[in-house]
Structures are given as structure tokens and as C-alpha cells.
Amino acid sequence: DAGITQSPRHKVTETGTPVTLRCHQTENHRYMYWYRQDPGHGLRLIHYSYGVKDTDKGEVSDGYSVSRSKTEDFLLTLESATSSQTSVYFCAISDRRQGARETQYFGPGTRLLVL
Amino acid sequence: DQQVKQNSPSLSVQEGRISILNCDYTNSMFDYFLWYKKYPAEGPTFLISISSIKDKNEDGRFTVFLNKSAKHLSLHIVPSQPGDSAVYFCAASVQGAQKLVFGQGTRLTINP
């Protein structure tokens, strides 16, 4: 299994509060991703990173920001949590070596409930 | 605009029989396809992939078929086992994009 951890694994918060989720990898992979999983929608990309301090938006980035100051850590921040951000959040990593394609490996997930 | 679609939310199959999961896509630029398996309370795990230069890829009990003209791929599991009960996601990517687009998932239940 790829060395990916997510913290916290579960969180309950109130509307309007800031929330930060952490993804940590020990694989030294260049690419890191944040997804959310919701019933009927599958996995949707929020933001991704292609290197330290290099990030870009995914398809559902509104209300989220990210930061990557070290290769191993990718943080997802909800500046002011809303009930629509109640979801399960997954971090993934990949490493595009020569001849390889973009197979991603996922962390265990963080279940977030916004009341 | 759902570029990758799994039109069957659920599928029930008897143990020992073949399970066939389907996936359709609309973007003709997709040239690499993957299947992931997900158990409850765990992250998705990579199962098998196929490049658009092939029409079939096998790995043990799992075979993925790609029909480029129909923009359709399928995952065959033979024989199906109780441990195969999970949610299966198909995903697709465009060369150089380094991003995956996922389908909605199909919940597979294997009955004894």
C-alpha cells in the first residue's frame, strides 16, 4: 500500500468555522490530489498539486483552498465551512515517471460533517 | 457535463458467475482508463487499467475491455467471489493532463 495518511479521519464542525484537512505521503510522489465523494457523483477533483507551491483547481474548487509547502504534505482548507461541504474527502498521489501513466493511489479518507 | 458515466448504480451477481460492470465516456481525447475498487470506510484501490492502443487487458480474474468506437469500457470479473462486493469506479484521463475523471460508481453485491 502507498504510504498515505489523512488527518483527522473524522470531524464534526459548525457552519462558518474554518477547517483544515491534512494529507501526508511517504512516497516522495510529485503529484497530490484532493477529491470529495458524494452519493451519485462519484469522486470529484477539488484541487491538485504538481509540485511544492504548485497547485491548480479541479472541477469543484469553490469554497476550498490548498497549500503545499513540502513534498510530503498537502493541506485542504475550508475557509468557512457550509453544510454542502459535508462529504468524504480523499487524498491521492501519483508519480509520472517515464513510460508510466497517471495511476493514482488513495488515502483512507476523512469524513466531515458540517452542522 | 458528466464525461464518464456508470449508468448502473448497483449490480447483484451470484457467487461463481461472471460480473460485468460498464462505463461510457464522451470525451474522445481520453486515452487511458482505469478501474478502482472501494470498500466501505476505505480509500479506493487501483484494480486494472488499459491504454487506448489496446482493446483488452487481463489480470487474473479481472479483464477490462475497451471499445473505442462505442466509447465504452467494461470490467469482467470471473468467477465472482464474496470479497468482490464493493463499489467500483471507472476513470479516464487525457495524455499529459495528469488528472483523472471518475464515473459515479457501481455497487457490486456478490450473493452466496
Min CA distance, A40 vs chain B (Å)? 6
Task: Assign A102 a pLDDT band (cuts: 50, 70, 90).
Answer: confident
Per the CB < 8 A criterion, the answer to whether A96 and A27 are in contact is no
Inter-chain contact B44–A90, Cβ cutoff 8 Å? yes
Task: Assign A98 a pLDDT band (cuts: 50, 70, 90).
Answer: low
User: Over the range A67-88, which residues count as b (16 or more CB within 10 Å of their CB) and which as e?
Assistant: ebeeebebbbebeebeeebbbe
Give the residue from chain B lying closest to A30, CA to CA: B98
**Burial bucket for residue B50 (CB in 10 Å: 0-12, 13-18, 19+):** buried
Report how far apart, in Å, the C-alpha atoms of B8 and of each of B24, B54, B74, B93 are.
11, 25, 12, 21
Give the residue from chain B lying closest to A47, CA to CA: B99
Find cell 455497487 and name the residue. B107
How does pLDDT run across A7-60, given as a tens digit for each residue? Answer: 999 999 999 999 999 999 999 999 999 999 998 889 999 999 999 999 999 999
How does pLDDT run across B59-103, given as a tens digit for each residue? Answer: 999 999 999 999 999 999 999 999 999 999 999 999 878 889 999
- Which grid coordinates belong to A95? 508519480
How high is the pLDDT of residue A7? 97
User: Quick check: A2 pLDDT over 80?
Assistant: no
**Burial bucket for residue B69 (CB in 10 Å: 0-12, 13-18, 19+):** exposed
Q: Which of B44, B51, B99 sits opposite A48 (nearest CB)?
A: B99
Q: Which of B6, B43, B98 sits opposite A31 (nearest CB)?
A: B98
Per DSSP (E only), the strands in chain B are 4-5, 10-14, 19-25, 30-38, 45-51, 56-59, 62-67, 72-77, 86-94, 101-102, 106-111
Pick the closest to residue B105 from B50, B38, B58, B46 (CA basis): B38
How high is the pLDDT of residue A101? 73
Residues of chain B neighbouring A61 (CB-CB closer than 8 A): none
How high is the pLDDT of residue A40? 86
Q: How far apart are CA A12 and CA B6, in angstroms?
A: 31
Find cell 475497451 and name the residue. B66
Side-chain half-sphere CA neighbours of B102 within 13 A: 28
Inter-chain contact B42–A108, Cβ cutoff 8 Å? yes
Average pLDDT of chain B? 95
Residues of chain B neighbouring A106 (CB-CB closer than 8 A): 36, 43-45
Pick the closest to residue B90 from B80, B101, B76 (CA basis): B101
Average pLDDT of chain A? 93
How high is the pLDDT of residue A97? 65
